[in-house]
Amino acid sequence: MIEQETYICRRSETNYLNVQLVKELVQWKQRYEERTSNIISKDEHGNLNVIYQWIESMRELPMMNEQLNAIGKSQEILMKQHEIQPMQI
């Protein structure tokens, strides 16, 4: 995605928003790599608390929160579709 936006920035004259997006994406990539290396170096990759904190930090981003909510709703729908009601005896 970063490469695509960089390409758009080079080709387009009106690219202010694309330049901003590239900067944000690069910063997110750097933070992700830093956090990943920290987790690996601390051997916390299996710690559920760390994973939960990551998910919660992602929820702070409006678009990610919307996507996570959509995933939750689709999982709920799937569960209801495959749910079997107990028989009445």
Domain boundaries, the chain: 1-45, 46-80
pLDDT at 6 over 60: yes
Does this model's pTM top 0.75? My answer is: no
Position 73 scores a pLDDT of 92
Say which range, 2-11, 34-43, 47-56, 76-85, has the weakest mean pLDDT: 2-11
Please name which of 60, 8, 6, 69 lies closest in space to residue 31, comparing C-alpha atoms.
Answer: 60
Average pLDDT (2-26) is 72
Position 13 scores a pLDDT of 61
pLDDT at 24 over 80: yes
Which position has the token pair 């710690």? 47
Position 45 scores a pLDDT of 55
DSSP assignment string, 27-82: HHHHHHHHHHHHHHHTT-TT-HHHHHHHHHHHHTSHHHHHHHHHHHHHHHHHHHHT
